[in-house]
Structure 1
Amino acid sequence: MAHYCSLHEPIVLYEAPPSDLVPAEIKGFVEWFNTSRDQIRHAPIRAGLAHLYFESIHPFEDGNGRVGRAVAEKALFQGAGRPLLMSLSQAIEADKTSYYAALQRAQRSNEVTDWLRYFVDLLLRALDESQARIDFVLKKARFFDRYREALSERQLKVVRRMLDAGPSSFESGVNASKYQRLTGVSKPTATRDLQELLQQGVLTSIGGGRSTRYEVNL
């Protein structure tokens, strides 16, 4: 694993085992993974160690991260006795710098306590994010059940666009100008539509005057 400051000055962050040793390392990993289920009681600890172990072998030219995350999630599923609705990938992508820094520190020492602290915190963030998405989907379904018949086609188009971004909603909400761009209507029509949506409780307003913007009221 290398980080390139320039084409001529690579900085090696971690050097994986030589390729001729990889088959034996993988065999040892698989044996450890299968026996560790009875030896390590806490699934998050086993998942964190499994991920670190696999990433340290680094057996593939590409795809080690994806397989390593799958291994960790399998360890979690085995510990819970059921699939968990979570995504390690999204949690890692949200702060890749911290992930690589923690992984690098752990791979340079046999002391893995700090790595496990980081990994358990990562799992908690992934679970929180999954819970937020589930809550959002349920709220979105109830929202459309309530308002679908009351909104015009262009109003539905804007609301759907605002909700497509997920729990974070439409960036900075929507104002009359943005509503115009999304629907192609005149500014007075956009203002009127937004006021109707506000009165119906579909939107909530933020700010005032020319800086007024609207967010979906879930």
Structure 2
Amino acid sequence: MNYIWQHNHWPQFSYDSSKLSALAYQYAKQAAQLSGSLAHTDLDDSISAQLDLMVDEAINTSLIEGENLNPASVRSSLQNYLNLTPTPINVADVKAEGMAALLVDVRKYFNKPLSKETLFSWHEMVLAGFEDNILHSDLTVGQWRDSPEPMQIVSGPVGYERVHYEAPPVQNLEAFMAEFLNWFNNQDSHQDNQEDNQPIPGVIRAGIAHLWFEVIHPFDDGNGRIGRAIIEYALAQDLGMPVVLSMSTHIEKNKKEYYRQLNAASCCDRSELDDPAVLDITVWLSWFIHTLIAAQQEAAEKVSTIFEKTDFWQRHKNTALSERQKAVINKVFKAGKEGFPNGISAQKYAALGKCSKATATRDLGDLVAKNCVRSEGVGRGLRYFIALSPAP
């Protein structure tokens, strides 16, 4: 097995613009619509939507790497960094603090060139708290990896390991990363290699940047999380504002395919090291853009749910509801459209509201009478849905 960084023409990536232009346009159109919807809505709703997406991104970009973060700690850390609380909230989770710091840094400073120092700073954020873990005590933090041993991605038991990928040796890192950063920051290099003097669409630039960075794999650990932060950085530069999506949320649901696509785009046979077709990454970019479009659609649904929640409570601000009823409705909204696609039963209400089924049935009957929920079905098939529109 050989790798594209060993190719004789590395890193001269190519792609077929004709196969990607429609996808790139669809992404750009959706990005503009999503950003526009937030720009023209209530400020609190906009902040709430973006905060929810940032929490999702922090949790899922970590989960992809097998790291579980506490959602409440992540949210509190983000609120602190974004100055959304009158007084800072005490957060004991150092790893949650680190991921929150990374996401806020990406969103605050995306208009600046991407530098080695920025990447080193991000690496320290990503690995915050790992120094207390004996398994990671020998990691080089805030610097390129420096071990002479090969950086390999392997699986399988000891003695039967399977090498999926081997990154460039340490002596190549400085030059490889300098070339990457020069390309990323040099606007003159952002030319579509298929059409002279045509700028690379922002989403294609982001896809190239992510693959390029992951191929180099410059750090001992955290390359995936930093590589996905680079996606947001590149997309924000193209859009002129932070993106409204969480790509990692969608990747986590399709993690095996994500790694399969990265592996397929990164590896080659020895006989192909002089074949220009190996550096044609059209297939990778097509998958990448499709994934971003799906992430946008998920984000649009989340934003829509937040708007619906605001409209619902505005209509029912004078409706007499118990704290339990309010809490259950808010939990249903928080779960989103995927949370309870078939509505909730009295039994589910009882679990959400921590009450008896008899109490749940009374509460639901009252909510139906007040047009807060609507019912469908009969008997054991009776289900309740939030009434998102006023009574006729």
* Fold shared, TM-score > 0.5 on shorter chain: yes
**Structure 2 unmatched ranges of 5 or more:** 1-151, 193-198, 268-277
Q: Provide Cα deviations, 1:168-192, integer angstroms capped at 9, x if missing partner.
A: 2347532222333343544333212
The separation in 2 between residues aligned to 1:159 and 1:12, in whole angstroms, is 49
Which residue matches 1:134? 303
Using a 3 Å threshold, how does the CA distance of structure 1 residues 103 and 206 change in structure 2: closer, same or farther? farther
Which residue matches 2:89? none
1:163 aligns with 2:322: no
1:181 aligns with 2:351: yes
Using a 3 Å threshold, how does the CA distance of structure 1 residues 28 and 170 change in structure 2: closer, same or farther? same
1:39 to 172, 179, 191: 191
Contact 2:376–2:383 (Cα < 8 Å) also in 1: yes
Which residue matches 1:213? 383
Contact 1:2–1:10 (Cα < 8 Å) also in 2: no
SS of residue paired to 1:133? helix
The separation in 2 between residues aligned to 1:180 and 1:82, in whole angstroms, is 43
Deviation at 1:131, TM superposition (A): 1.5
Using a 3 Å threshold, how does the CA distance of structure 1 residues 167 and 182 change in structure 2: closer, same or farther? closer
Contact 1:161–1:170 (Cα < 8 Å) also in 2: no
Q: Which stretch of the first structure deviates more once superposed, 174-183 or 19-28?
A: 174-183
The separation in 1 between residues aligned to 2:354 and 2:249, in whole angstroms, is 35
The separation in 2 between residues aligned to 1:59 and 1:196, in whole angstroms, is 60
1:101 aligns with 2:260: yes
Using a 3 Å threshold, how does the CA distance of structure 1 residues 128 and 178 change in structure 2: closer, same or farther? closer
Give the TM-score of the pair, scaled to structure 2: 0.52
**Structure 1 unmatched ranges of 5 or more:** none
Counterpart residue type for residue 52 of structure 1: L
Q: Which stretch of the first structure deviates more once superposed, 29-38 or 154-163?
A: 29-38
Greater RCO (Cα-Cα under 8 Å, separation 6 or more)? 2
> What percent identity do the matched residue pairs reach?
40
1:114 aligns with 2:283: yes
Q: Provide Cα deviations, 1:107-148, integer angstroms capped at 9, x if missing partner.
A: 123221100101111111121122111111111111112224
Give the TM-score of the pair, scaled to structure 1: 0.89
